[in-house]
Structure 1
């Protein structure tokens, strides 16, 4: 860029800012941001209202929430770190571990914030292509690790394509990566996983892999995307390094109260997850029946490999009042939303697929 009034690092100036899913009008379904279509869980709004005055700072450590999460995951409170969304912790961990001359390895396409993590830290991003069916190629990722690698990110289920990494695959991957390389297991969608072979972060931590940090969030299954609460489970020393790089007081008192109340509503949470999973599986099956080659969907979204036609496909959905998330040149991610949206998504997808060439990668 040449119109900057001050000196900005050129790699930062060239980095596109993160762009969230497009907002939807009153008559449209917003299926672009993997949000939970349900209202907050029982007790959450009352907890937020009782959280206290806004003229006081929150507890910087979110101690009450850390204690609850530590008990839930079978670790000590210093093995839990809470921040304003799990992506905040990703930035903190990357800046703590990587710098100029270092490398950050991740699958691609995956969560679109990953490339920027490395650039902001001054490190080099090393994307490793997914397999043809939208899965992590952990063998290739292990091969991409060099003596300059400081962080490796594994997203399961993978956002935006949907498949999980299996426990066996991840165990072999950890064994292949040097023990002084930080491995981040991003489990933002873990609650929606039904695959019995999928990796489970708690099992990984219980196995004693001290270089692995598990990321979870309250934004998806718990429906607190607007309050920004995420957490990490890992070795206390690694989490202390993340806390050092983080912005203090970033988790407001209302967010901590909402997360605590959400943890108290386990039965209602399970019912909502079950409803979203059933809806997801029905949506994926309908899309396949319509002629789409949909990867295994284990999050709260499905993926259509639309390639060069991506923007045209997204426009067709938008014209029908369905706001989806296009990734130009690759595909379209469709969040599982309200029940009323499911049949409409399938109908539009069925009409769109007929316009694609018979040899198109997105067709069955």
Structure 2
């Protein structure tokens, strides 16, 4: 049978692998691959969704009610808030608005796996700066902001800083970020990706919204999400705070009507129940501490995670060790050749993770 003639696709897009979601778990498995919140939605959030989201009508394209709540919360103007279907959607919008063919976008690597694809789609060139590697666990897996600043050229249009860094977990400090921003040209967009900010407990960590870095530095946009700490991953809603003109550019590149009414209602209800939700975050933080301490006790060189996941540097044995976890009904996220990210999940999952980790750490150490 003759193959049909298909439309011509940009070769770099044809070669680009689609975003790889964490594997779905079976009924008896723990899914610890996507950094989801293990708790069910709060009853108040579920109740808010009942009968309030007519699915035969388009949502408010601007998510005005949610933007008004966020603007009041952070003391900014309505146009200084942008809402989209997840913070990753805003990343795409900002990079599309700022960079094109011949331009460069800088980010640390390894970091959020969507970064390479969103830069490629824009037509720009990705400049990946290796993370700091050190025998000191307080340093390893962190952004090398000096090297990132050194990499800025006349072609640099955007820089992405992920803190806490996904998938390794460490933060960028306030002092480091301020020194970094002061080295970057004021006309270069800096995206401060703080998807896991609510889980941070480290002293001195940058807090883009609490410190209002977007006011002192109008080229900085701060991203947050309702997917992680607020447990709304299935509804897809995130937001950005920054200069109105910068966010107008993101709005101009956005897919219209992408934030559903359900997502907006659930986000507002989550803000109403924030105290209760943050108690759940505290439980996850405590479990994270238990995991990190126990894994280090087994001999793992686990970086100082301030997120809702931990990182195992498994190197060349990554795929093999991920298979051991999978055989034990624990779905993790392997990054071939580098390591394994394990989300902090249900209470019952912690002991199982530690059992599997213990079973593979000795052979791994013997290989080094």
TM over 0.5: yes
Q: State the superposition RMSD in angstroms.
A: 1.3
Structure 2 SS opposite 1:225: coil
Aligned to 2:137: none
Q: 1:68, 1:14 → 2: CA distance?
A: 42
Ranges in structure 1 where 5+ consecutive residues have no aligned partner: none
Shift of 1:53: 1.4
Structure 1 SS opposite 2:82: strand
Alignment check: 8 A CA contact 1:188 1:216 kept:
yes
**Residue 3 and residue 136 in structure 1: after superposition, are their counterparts in 2 closer, same or farther (change >3 A)?**
farther
Aligned to 1:323: 331
**Runs of 4 or more above 4 Å deviation:** none
Shift of 1:206: 5.9
1:345 aligns with 2:353: yes
Aligned to 1:48: 49
Decide which of 143, 147, 150 is 1:143's aligned counterpart: 150
Decide which of 190, 193, 205 is 2:200's aligned counterpart: 193
1:272 aligns with 2:280: yes
After TM superposition, list the pairs within 5 Å mapping 1:1-364 onto structure 2.
Answer: 5-132=6-133, 133-202=140-209, 203-205=211-213, 207-358=215-366, 360=368
Q: Deviations over 1:87-110 (max 9, x none)?
A: 000000000000000000000000
Q: 1:335, 1:201 → 2: CA distance?
A: 24
Shift of 1:5: 2.1
How high is the TM-score relative to the length of structure 1? 0.97
Structure 2 SS opposite 1:214: strand
Q: 2:333, 2:214 → 1: CA distance?
A: 36
Shift of 1:65: 0.2
Compare 4-13 and 31-40 and name the one that shifted more.
4-13
Alignment check: 8 A CA contact 1:52 1:253 kept:
yes
Q: 2:82, 2:5 → 1: CA distance?
A: 37
Ranges in structure 2 where 5+ consecutive residues have no aligned partner: 134-139
Q: 1:216, 1:255 → 2: CA distance?
A: 15
Shift of 1:52: 3.0
Shift of 1:246: 0.3
Aligned residues: 359
Q: 1:184, 1:166 → 2: CA distance?
A: 15
Alignment check: 8 A CA contact 1:42 1:265 kept:
no
Alignment check: 8 A CA contact 2:229 2:278 kept:
no
Shift of 1:204: 4.1
Structure 2 SS opposite 1:87: helix
Shift of 1:23: 0.6
